[in-house]
Structure 1
Amino acid sequence: MTSTFTSPPGGAPASAVPAVVAEGVSKVYGSGDAAVHALRGVGVAFARGAFTAIMGPSGSGKSTLMHCLAGLDTVSGGRIVLGDAEITAMGDRQLTMLRRDRVGFVFQAFNLLPTLTAEQNILLPLDLAGRKVDRSWFDQVVDVVGLRDRLKHRPNELSGGQQQRVACARALVARPDVIFADEPTGNLDSRSGAEVLGFLRASVREMGRTIVMVTHDPVAASYADRVVFLRDGSITSEIVGPTPDAVLDRLKSLGA
């Protein structure tokens, strides 16, 4: 998708306390001559209360890094710490609990249940976890996402941008430590993409959330506080306070 989102002004400083940290993380698929080194000793920290984008050429390891940070994939070496929990030392059941209680996800595909209303989709994580709904927090999330008048609508009655904002609200409602967004605007037109990015930015500025987003789009990345660049499984550089032009120039230098 070629985007024409409007870039926002620079954001506020975030807390210096990391929400998630990778230390010497490697990921190898296969073995011997067929081994593919997706990550090579990656060390990076993501600040709490900040919006960070991960970028790089195709095959650079950006999605692999996100999946490892979120506990969706295992590492071959190194460690990942989310808050006070070393997730690389956890078993499957512990990881399932951590992802349910402390991590939110927004994917390129909206992953909404078609038979549920927007409100039911938003509250689904709490229902599955058997947790009581904090209605004041729910109302705050709904107001920030801007779908107050769409809560009774099912996904097929919503635009793509509205569906993705429902998915963002679903990720927020459980108050996770970190929200991981994997190409969240990839299936959206420019206007809808800008709406979703504006919402993600507002959730950081107004609600203190932490977001780590993989994107290929320099203008989408400019909504973040910081952009981390990968190439061939290693972090090469970063930009704080990114602009679309600065991000594009850095990607060109990486061969993206």
Structure 2
Amino acid sequence: MSRTDTLQHPAAPATPPPAAPQQLRSIAASATDAVKAYGRGDAAVHALDGVTVAFERGRFTAIMGPSGSGKSTLMQTVAGLDTLTSGSVSIGDVELSTLSDKELTRLRRDRIGFIFQAFNLVPTLTAEENILLPLDLAGRKPDREWFESIVDTVGLGSRLGHRPAELSGGQQQRVAVARALVSRPEIVFGDEPTGNLDSRSGSEILAFLRNAVHQLGQTVVMVTHDPVAAAYADRVVFLADGHIVDEMSDPTSDRVLDRMKRFGR
């Protein structure tokens, strides 16, 4: 399996339907005055330094910035994988700091989907078993119609009986994407989800996420360093030194690349 740091020549993202008016959109997740500091006093390093941002339902948002900008920290704290030093994060109208460890685990399991650069599949399980694993752990029966719709959309119908070692990298990431969607989460977070894929496989995964937003009403928040990947999003949020420094709607790869070049000046 080859790897590329920047996707090359992907299929053009599908043209989105007209967006709902801003005032009609509800918020899937948000951060308010979010601070994440490591260390204390003068030696403290602020990965996030007073970030306030909201992610709307039914939208695809990319988070970008140079290394050390805080983009992965923002995603991890909003997703409940890490805690803030101060400020607050919410999924819908639930503030995460008000939850016990058990309640937070349940919320992540039932309301959030995760896609990471590493596929994180269980090697002894088949593709179908890996996809259904979150439901099995929650003791829930799958909606077979929904499951079949996802499997058909990601093109895994003929590979469900195969174990990860028998699948290509792109197919393994499709399994991971299907697993993230099978529980119908309110929001899906992706941390460099195409970082370990070749350009063709990466573009296929991004196109599927784009279609999940358009056709299934899914909410997706993705951290990426790649302007081509960000062009699949409805909106790009730019971070630098722990601050949000810019936003862009209806991005193109050229516009995103031009904005990213300014970080180096």
For the superposition of Structure 1 and Structure 2, which TM-score range results when normalised by the shorter chain? Answer: over 0.9
- If the length of structure 1 is used for normalisation, what is the TM-score? 0.97
Partner residue, 2:173: 164
Alpha-carbon distance in structure 2 between the residues aligned to 1:155 and 1:195? 18
Amino acid at match of 1:3: L
Amino acid at match of 1:99: R
SS at match of 2:264: coil
Partner residue, 1:183: 192
Cα offset, 1:84, TM superposition: 2.0
Alpha-carbon distance in structure 2 between the residues aligned to 1:217 and 1:168? 19
- Which residues in structure 2 correspond to 1:97-176 (within 5 Å)? 97-176=106-185
Residues 7 and 244 in structure 1, CA contact (< 8 A), matched pair in contact too:
no
- Which residues in structure 2 correspond to 1:1-256 (within 5 Å)? 1-4=5-8, 5-12=10-17, 13=19, 16-255=25-264
Worse overlay, 138-147 or 9-18: 9-18
Worse overlay, 107-116 or 10-19: 10-19
Amino acid at match of 1:229: F
Cα offset, 1:98, TM superposition: 0.7
Alpha-carbon distance in structure 2 between the residues aligned to 1:254 and 1:7? 26
Cα offset, 1:136, TM superposition: 0.8
Identical residues among aligned pairs (%): 65
Cα offset, 1:9, TM superposition: 4.4
Alpha carbons of structure 1 residues 235 and 10: separation in structure 2 relative to 1, 3 Å: farther
Alpha-carbon distance in structure 1 between the residues aligned to 2:28 and 2:49? 22
SS at match of 1:148: coil
Alpha-carbon distance in structure 1 between the residues aligned to 2:148 and 2:127? 13
- If the length of structure 2 is used for normalisation, what is the TM-score? 0.94
Structure 2, unmatched stretches of 5+, are: none
Deviations 1:25-63 (A, max 9, x none): 111111123211010111111010111000001000000
Q: CA RMSD in A?
A: 1.2
Equivalenced residue count is 256
Cα offset, 1:6, TM superposition: 3.3
Deviations 1:135-155 (A, max 9, x none): 011111111111111111111
